[in-house]
Amino acid sequence: MSTQNNYTTLVRHLQRCRDIAGALRLLEWDQETYLPDGAVESRASQIGALSEVLHEQHTAPHFLDLVDELAERLGELSFEQAVDVRETKWQLDRERALDAALVRERSEQRATARSVWIKARRDDNFAALAPHLEKIVAMERRVAAAIDATRDPYEVLLEAYEPGLRLDRLETVLGEVRAGLQPLVARIRAVNERAPWPASPLLGDFAEDKQLAFNRQVLTAIGFDFANGRIDASAHPFSTTIGSDSRLTTRYDRSDLGYALYSSLHEAGHGMYEQGLDPQARGLPRGSACSLGVHESQSRLWENQIGRSRAFWDYLLPVAKQAFPALAPASVDAVCLAVNRMEPSFIRTESDEATYNLHILLRFELERALIGGDLHVGDLAQAWREKMRDLLGVVPPDDRQGVLQDVHWSAGEFGYFPTYTLGNLYAAQLLETAATELGDIDAVVRAGEFSVLLCWMRDRIHRWGQTWRAAELIERATGSAASAAPLLRHLERKVEWLEQR
Ligand code: ZN
């Protein structure tokens, strides 16, 4: 067969995988949103069956041979075709490095640890989780060695989420974040010592159906396409993509208008990225998200960079007052102050835009040490408390609000946390570049002309999929290598503003 025919066969195979994966995600989405309690077992069985079908497709010998053959003939393919082959092969090589027994053992360990974690967190009992976590750390080291024994195991694991990212690069940018945030945290603490925060205008009584309508209105305004997506409620907000259909979920808190609003803006950022991928290449690497860090840059852009700006509230507050007459006395100033409240705290997911990154640094440093063998799981809870004191100046009173708060490690996800801060710094760098190219970005936002910004993101980020690895994509989009400086400038301005209140 000719190389071109082989490529066509590859595309058909990947599209088939895409469709099976789409059906699987729809079942999972339904499980998190509308599934009746009595159907949990039959749904688990359906998901299991379809996962097996997908796995068979992924590991079909004729498919593996085809990818290997194409990878040897990249020169006979167009640039775009070569991207699809290169990335498919990269992914497959990682998967093939793990034998079936290891994969099964790994997923059983994770399932067990996850359920132990739920109880351990509830009972504030780290000792119950520790032996499971030890097994998981040992497993991830085995996995990293199987994929590439010549490299730092943490870097190999990190690449599952951020392909191509070198550990020394990550250490450099996170080091910049650390150095830049330390003096800011001291200033944030001083702001908190000076005066108590005034009551937030976004706290009150906001009926769920009204919030739902309001959030739809906001998401439509920023450019989320409801002809190719939905928003529903779930216990934990998430977003998923089913072919050309981007689904978001949020959780409503009747007493806090901000909760669902910010989680919706975040998930919509993810959804709009998916909606901006090349529809002709759906299911192929060129039509798939670049990395978790880049994905997160799109959610953090709308949630934080735009969503917490003064210009955004100049635009949104009049809209919100129409939906919720109780907001009538609220000023833009008061709302901005409330949504930009900064204070060192124990829980990552509830922390502010600045100190959030210190929560990530803490996790990065601890998980690197765990995988590198420099820290034992038995000492983890204590190491957590010490790092909290060093980085944030607060020490959680129990492990529930400390080392037990996140599910990631129990789920075997080592190398995942840094992508959150990478997202924050990519978002700041992208917006800074967009602002120099598009002129007065505040005026654009204040006028509600969000499509100007969305089009810029589509052009610089979305449409490229995995054509470039994240480092190159960011450099092409902004003209310089990824750096923490734009994020630090952004946070510095915020803190300065808080100090002048
Ligand atoms: Zn996210």
CA 311 to centroid of ligand 1, rounded, Å: 23
Tracing tokens 């480092």 back to the chain, one arrives at 471
| SS3 letters across 285-349 | HHHCCCCHHHHHHHHHHHHHHHCCCHHHHHHHHHHHHHHCHHHCCCCHHHHHHHHCCCCCCCCHH
CB contact at 8 A, 433 and 479: yes
What does the buried/exposed string (b/e) look like for 143-158 if buried means 16 or more CB atoms within 10 Å of the residue's CB?
A: bbeebeeeebbbbbbb
CA 292 to centroid of ligand 1, rounded, Å: 8
- The Cα 120–Cα 56 span in angstroms is 36
H or E element in which residue 250 lies: strand 245-250
Could you count the other beta carbons within 10 Å of the beta carbon of residue 111? 12
Of 44, 84, 330, 109, nearest in space to 200 by CA: 330
CA 5 to centroid of ligand 1, rounded, Å: 38
CA 498 to centroid of ligand 1, rounded, Å: 26
DSSP letter assigned to residue 233: E
CA 267 to centroid of ligand 1, rounded, Å: 6
110: which 2 tokens?
A: 């994770």
Instruction: Return left, alpha or beta for 396; rule: phi > 0 is left, psi -120 to 50 is alpha, else beta.
Output: beta
CA 417 to centroid of ligand 1, rounded, Å: 11
CA 270 to centroid of ligand 1, rounded, Å: 7
CA 497 to centroid of ligand 1, rounded, Å: 27
Q: What angle (nearest 5°) sits at the alpha carbon of residue 486, between those of residues 483 and 487?
A: 95
pLDDT in tens, the chain (501 residues): 799 999 999 999 999 999 999 999 999 999 999 999 999 999 999 998 999 999 999 999 999 999 999 999 999 999 999 999 999 999 999 999 999 899 989 989 999 999 999 999 999 999 999 999 999 999 999 999 999 999 999 999 999 999 999 999 999 999 999 999 999 999 999 999 998 999 999 999 999 999 999 999 999 999 999 999 999 999 899 999 999 999 999 999 999 999 999 999 999 999 999 999 999 999 999 999 999 999 999 999 999 999 999 999 999 999 999 999 999 999 999 999 999 999 999 999 999 999 999 999 999 999 999 999 999 999 999 999 999 999 999 999 999 999 999 999 999 999 999 999 999 999 999 999 999 999 999 999 999 999 999 999 999 999 999 999 999 999 999 999 999 999 999 999 999 999 998
- The structure's pTM equals 0.96
DSSP letter assigned to residue 256: B
How many CA atoms lie within 13 Å of 435's alpha carbon, on the beta-carbon side? 16
CA 68 to centroid of ligand 1, rounded, Å: 34
Q: Which residue type, as a one-letter code, is found at position 81? A: Q
CA 399 to centroid of ligand 1, rounded, Å: 24
Which residues does 341 contact at the CB level (< 8 Å), separation at least 6?
Answer: 197, 200, 352
Neighbour-count burial of 63, counting CB atoms closer than 10 A to its CB (0-12 exposed, 13-18 middle, 19+ buried): buried
Give the residue numbers marked as catalytic.
267
Of 409, 418, 395, 432, nearest in space to 470 by CA: 418
- The Cα 476–Cα 468 span in angstroms is 9
CA 293 to centroid of ligand 1, rounded, Å: 9
CA 64 to centroid of ligand 1, rounded, Å: 32
Provide the pLDDT for residue 501: 83
